[in-house]
Structure 1
Amino acid sequence: MHILSLIEQYELQFSNNNYFGDIGVDPSYSIVEGSLPVLVSAPHAINHFREHAVKPADMYTGSLALLLQKLTNCYCIYSNSFSKEDPNYILGGEYKAALRALVKEHRIQFVIDLHGASKLREFDIDLGTLYGTSIRENNLNDVIGIFNNNGITNVRQNHTFSASHPGTITSYCAKELLVQSIQIEINRNYRNPNAFDLFQKTIHSLEQIIKLLGGV
């Protein structure tokens, strides 16, 4: 099946009920296991609740995570149902507990947390690294180099989203689980199936990043 068709097929489970996902499903996350010691996370694949308000989904981050799992056989965790827990903001929670279990049981070496930014942002990609403390410098340089080699050159670091809030997935993994982690904010222009040439650059970049970090 063509990648675009797969993406659209995967996205259906997230766009269900106007991006509230499969309402009432427990737990409100899903896991796909693999063999590569890299975990891709998509906590905002559906609408999420933060500070007494519903925030819209980071569209196509969930389907991108699933596609990357299929392409690389990495591990994957993503939100599948609306809940009052925003996994990338609250301290603790069931999503992070499941993530912890995955990291410990399967000796995950890297966690990549995918997010979506508005097309109005000044960057194509913003890498949140807690200002350089969540991932080794050589690995970060490799990540940036892969994006650049695939034609994504406006890659910032901690420009708008540093992931330094203690409730973020990246902060939790780096500080509590002591595993290298990075938050990747993807401009809407680079996760839009209607601009597939740009979306494909994102897919190829992330696939190569996962394989490199996973030792393939």
Structure 2
Amino acid sequence: MHIKKRVLLLAAITLSACATKQPLPQRAIVEPKLVHQAIETEQALDAREGVAIEAGAEWFKVVPGRIPVIITAPHATRPLRNGNRRFADGGGTAALALAVAELTGAHVIYTTHEGPSDPNYYDDNDFKRELARLIGEVRPRYVLDIHGSHAYRPFDLDLGTMGGRSLLGQEALLHELIASLRAEGLDNLSYNYFGAAKSETITKFASGLGVPAVQLEANTNYLSPSAGSVQAQRFSQLVQALTRYIQRG
């Protein structure tokens, strides 16, 4: 055989062999039923805008888990900041937390009604006291704090770590999270646009108690499964990314 042809043949065989060694995709783990449940949660929480809570009723809920990870959604309903109602990040933030928890066994704490405070702005409220109790009981590996960002933002997610300080030296947690997001097609990431360093954030609070924490600001297009098929798929992508991140340990 001519030397040039032989070289080309060997190259083709080598490329073919390399191609066969590429890892196969993982099997999808998010079912439509889970997204339908998330839509119901999103719509139920969004419907509580402007609805007064009964005196003495709880304005947040804790869903116990079975693994040492805590997910929070403190702005699922409108918080009270400086005497005024601030806009909510949407019921989709709680729907995301609950969907991931169902697949992983993580603990969740989220707002269910318009309460008397802002858990991501003040520390002196029952939400933060319950979070502190939960941290002491669970001793979590980390806290993921879910928020929603405007649809016009150029990113899929912004990752807030107080400039890295809230990781408490465990930078691998961030890099593993980024890898999990990108593996599910969420490539358009931002870092510390919302750094979670201002005011008394959940991320600052948790890291102050010795637990690494990340504030996840997800574009609302990933938090609105009720808005349509495209948004529902994006929601399921994000659920799957966070689920696989948590499951990797």
**Contact residue 21 and residue 80 of structure 1 kept, 8 A:** no
Are 1:162 and 2:195 counterparts? Answer: yes
Cα shift readout 1:123-179 (whole Å, capped 9, x = no counterpart): 1100010101111211100001111111011111102x100024100001102x110
Instruction: Select 1:185's aligned residue among 209, 214, 217.
Output: 217
Identity of aligned residues (%): 31
Change over 3 Å in CA distance of 1:119–1:30 after alignment to 2: same
Deviation at 1:9, TM superposition (A): 2.0
Which one of 141, 150, 154 corresponds to residue 184 of structure 2?
150
For 1:165, give the aligned amino acid: K
Structure 1 length normalisation: TM-score? 0.91
Report the 3-state secondary structure (helix = DSSP H, G, I; strand = E; otherwise coil) of the residue aligned with 2:166.
Answer: coil
The DSSP-based 3-state class of the residue aligned with 2:47 is helix
Q: Which residue number in structure 2 is paired with residue 206 of structure 1?
A: 242
Partner of 1:196: 232
User: What is the Cα deviation at residue 185 of structure 1?
Assistant: 0.2
CA distance in structure 1 between the partners assigned to 2:79 and 2:70 by the alignment: 21
- How many residues in Structure 1 have an aligned counterpart in Structure 2? 210
Q: 1:42 aligns with which of 62, 65, 73?
A: 73
Long gaps (5+) in structure 1: none
Alignment of 1:1-216 (within 5 A): 2-17=33-48, 19-20=49-50, 23-24=53-54, 26-59=57-90, 60-135=92-167, 136-159=170-193, 161-175=194-208, 177-193=209-225, 194=228, 195-212=231-248, 215=249
Letter in 1 for 2:173: N
Q: 1 CA distance for matches of 2:176 and 2:216?
A: 14
AA matched with 2:235: F
When the two chains are superposed, the root-mean-square deviation of aligned CA atoms in Å is 1.6
Displacement of 1:110: 0.9
For residue 72 of structure 2, what is the amino acid of its counterpart? S
Counterpart Cα distance in 2 of 1:15 and 1:134 = 30
Say if 1:129 and 1:183, in contact at 8 Å, map to a contact too.
yes
TM-score normalized by the length of structure 2: 0.80
